[in-house]
Amino acid sequence: MLALAHAESAVVAAPTSAGKTVVGEFAMVQALDGGGSVIFCSPTKALSNQKFLDFYKLFPQKVGLLTGDVSISRRSMLCHHADFERVKTVIFDEVHYIGDTERGSVWEEAIILLPAHVNLLCLSATVPNCLDLAGWICQTRHCVCHAVVKQSRPTPLRVYGIADITCLLVDTESGTFLEDNFQKLHPGERSAEDILHGIAANTRLTPALAFMFSKVACQTFALALGKRFNQAEVVASLIAEYHGARTSRLKGAIKFWASKKIARLCPITSHLRTDQAQQICSLTTEALLHLPEEDRGLEQATMWGGYV
């Protein structure tokens, strides 16, 4: 925040729930107070929709959304070259995507070509070379760029294995894999559907994502769990709000997504995540791991081609 207050760039590498988004919100408040604007870049449509909803609550009528499928409040955004005179900061969320083979070059070019007066705020929980990235930005843009690294995780990450019994698989403090506990897990009478039902019924563990290893399993589990839960009134109100979206799947609290999600449904499911809904996903939607669900479950520990 001090770097942004002094009109300097920063790369922030910190674990999930460490408060990286707060730094971005500070940049937005600072820019808006000065009559400027901020561009927030995220690597996936799902994350863009989620962030749009979050920021719209903080800055009503001042936030727009532009993805490959959706355009909302374009007048609230900057769409022409001349408008960059008002841009104070560009935020790159999940900046480690700069290393992505297909999409990374777009962000690399954006960082290089942005006007000199624009500050950069790069956020990531997994970027392995924060210092190198900050150094590259300094060299490329001829500016001051701070590297802020936080190792400790404020919100403990707990990894459990669930069969007939539930065992902690990774020591929360040291991160050590607990082999003895893993050996206690054996296939039992409880089905994966029963286990997911138990998670969904516990409000402390929802919203939740359950990852399946095939599209068929994804749909089967979603339909089975959907019979046990019903949020028809909540879903109906959201359907009315987002009139025109294809909503044949949205009949309960359980949703399933394969790789080719219907982009127009993303705003609806973003709302449902805040209403203790559970989503069933195939592994091709792994980008959803960046969304703020309380729990994520894997159906099994292996898939075609080897171990996960």
Please report the DSSP string for 257-298 in residue order: E-SS--GGGHHHHHHHHTTT-EEEEEGGGGGGGGS--SEEEE
At CA 146, angle to CA 142 and CA 151, rounded to 5?
Answer: 150
What's this model's pTM, rounded to 2 decimal places?
0.66
| Fold topology of 191-307 | Rossmann fold (3.40.50)
Residues with Cβ within 8 Å of 22's Cβ and at least 6 positions away in sequence, in order, are none
Residue listed under structure tokens 């409040």: 73
**Predicted local distance difference test score (pLDDT) of residue 266:** 53
Distances (CA, A) of 148 to 20, 53, 107, 300: 10, 27, 20, 37
With residue 220 as reference, give the H or E element that holds it: helix 215-226
With residue 132 as reference, give the H or E element that holds it: helix 130-141
**Predicted local distance difference test score (pLDDT) of residue 73:** 60
Ranges of the chain with pLDDT below 50: 76-79, 233-239, 241-254, 257-265, 268, 275-276, 278, 280, 282-293, 301-308
DSSP symbols for 51-73: HHHHHHHHSTTS--EE-SS-EE-
226 strand-pairing partners: none
Hey, where are the domains in the chain?
Answer: 2-149, 156-189, 191-307
Residues with Cβ within 8 Å of 183's Cβ and at least 6 positions away in sequence, in order, are none
Strands (E), the chain: 9-13, 37-41, 65-66, 71-72, 87-93, 119-124, 145-149, 160-162, 166-168, 208-212, 254-257, 278-282, 295-298, 302-303, 306-307
**Predicted local distance difference test score (pLDDT) of residue 279:** 52
DSSP-assigned letter for residue 140: H
How many Cα neighbours within 13 Å face the side chain of 136?
A: 12
Taking the mean position of all CA atoms in its chain, how far away is CA 21? 11
**Predicted local distance difference test score (pLDDT) of residue 271:** 53
Do the domains 191-307 and 2-149 match in fold? yes
Residue listed under structure tokens 């607990």: 178
**Predicted local distance difference test score (pLDDT) of residue 171:** 85
- 208-212, strands of its sheet edge to edge: 254-257, 278-282, 208-212, 295-298
CATH number of 2-149: 3.40.50.300
What three-state secondary structure class fits 9? Answer: strand
Crossing angle (nearest 10°) for helices 215-226 and 192-201: 50
Residues with Cβ within 8 Å of 20's Cβ and at least 6 positions away in sequence, in order, are 12, 14, 123, 124, 125
